[in-house]
Amino acid sequence: MAAPFGLPVTPPGEVVALFAALVSSVGYVSARRGLDDVSAEVLVTATTAVSVVLLVPLVFVLDQPRLTPAAFAVFVVSGLLGSGLGRFLLSSVIHLVGAGVAHSVKSASPVVAAVFSVVFLGETLTVALAVGILVVVAGLVLLTRATSEDDGRRTAGISTTAAVSVLVVCWFGVTPVVRKYGLSVLDAPLLPALATNFFVGMLVGLAIALYRNPGQLSVALHSDSRRYLVLTGLCWTVAITAYFAALGLADAVVVVPIFNASPLFTVALGIFFLGERQAARKTTVVGALVTVCGVVLITLA
């Protein structure tokens, strides 16, 4: 993949992935700060709409090449799995098995992504890289378990929890591999791929919002939440754009675990800028340190 956005040099994919993780965490902090009362469907619809408004005009202004039918199909699937249904899946799973379990299981998805990347994309997984991925996953599990509260909402038994856990880890592990396939194997142009991905995600969010409560979109857009919706949408647009660019520049086995380290930045931003000092518990600190060590190992590997 050529240098993205006409940059004079091609940045390392690891650096772009780390930037994507940082910006994504700013979006999560924005959502947590001002969007607690906004439903998942409104959040998906509004934030992906921001992405569509920003990216679709760029596709035409910059005269981007069209996606091939195969690439278009890949990024329709990407929009369904990632930007659309992924957030609703996580929200539903939290109610079933609790936030701690849900986020911990999701944190393990880079392992699945690595396996699928090696099997289906022919990427190379060295021992050092495998160790780095496992260290990142361990750190993220500690981090998310320490910062997620179940609120007594767990309703599933052991067998359901196990089945749901397998679904979540596979769902979020397969999605980046689908994106990598479209960007690298099919050589899809970045901006049209992004626009398709976000447009499908927006349609999914809109359909669910209209089905559940047609009036909730209007209420959210006329409340104080709208500025946080826009800010979150801007952050996630930049983050996912950088993430896609990173997938085009480096192997998914490298990019996915680095990007999934965004909870590390989310916790740090909450502590330093939102005064969430209570988040700095021993387990949180240990999880953060382990995650950093894993990211360093992956980058060096």
Q: pLDDT (tens digit, 9 = 90+) per residue, 13-50?
A: 999 999 999 999 999 888 877 777 788 888 899 999 99
Residue of 236, 194, 280 whose CA lies nearest to 29? 236
Q: How confident is the model at residue 100 (pLDDT cuts 50, 70, 90)?
A: low
Q: Is 169:112 a contact under the CB 8 Å cutoff?
A: yes
What pLDDT is recorded for position 274? Answer: 63
Residue 2 located in a structural domain: no
Residue 128 located in a structural domain: yes
The whole model's pTM is what? 0.88
Q: Is 58:191 a contact under the CB 8 Å cutoff?
A: yes
Residue 166 located in a structural domain: yes
Query: For the segment 56-94, what is each residue's pLDDT rounded down to a tens digit?
Result: 999 999 999 999 999 999 999 999 999 899 878 877 777
Residue 220 located in a structural domain: yes
What pLDDT is recorded for position 265? Answer: 84
- Domain interval for residue 87: 11-300
What pLDDT is recorded for position 279? Answer: 52
Phi, psi of 144 (to 5 degrees): -70, -35
Phi, psi of 30 (to 5 degrees): -60, -45
Number of domains in the chain: 1
Answer whether residue 240 shows pLDDT above 90: yes
Q: Is 255:14 a contact under the CB 8 Å cutoff?
A: yes
What pLDDT is recorded for position 275? Answer: 62
What pLDDT is recorded for position 46? Answer: 92
Which residues fall within 8 angstroms of residue 40, CB to CB, at 6 or more apart?
87, 88, 91
Mean pLDDT to the nearest integer, 117-145: 89
What pLDDT is recorded for position 5? Answer: 55
Average pLDDT of the chain is 85
The two structure tokens encoding residue 18: 């780390």
Answer whether residue 150 shows pLDDT above 70: no
Distance CA 137, CA 97 (A): 19
What pLDDT is recorded for position 11? Answer: 86
Residue 6 located in a structural domain: no
% of the chain residues with pLDDT over 90: 50
Residue 4 located in a structural domain: no
Angle at CA of residue 124, ends 119 and 128, nearest 5°? 125
Query: For the segment 160-216, what is each residue's pLDDT rounded down to a tens digit?
Result: 777 888 888 899 999 999 999 999 999 999 999 999 999 999 999 999 999 988 888
What pLDDT is recorded for position 262? Answer: 86
Residue 92 located in a structural domain: yes
Residue 32 located in a structural domain: yes
DSSP state of 127: H
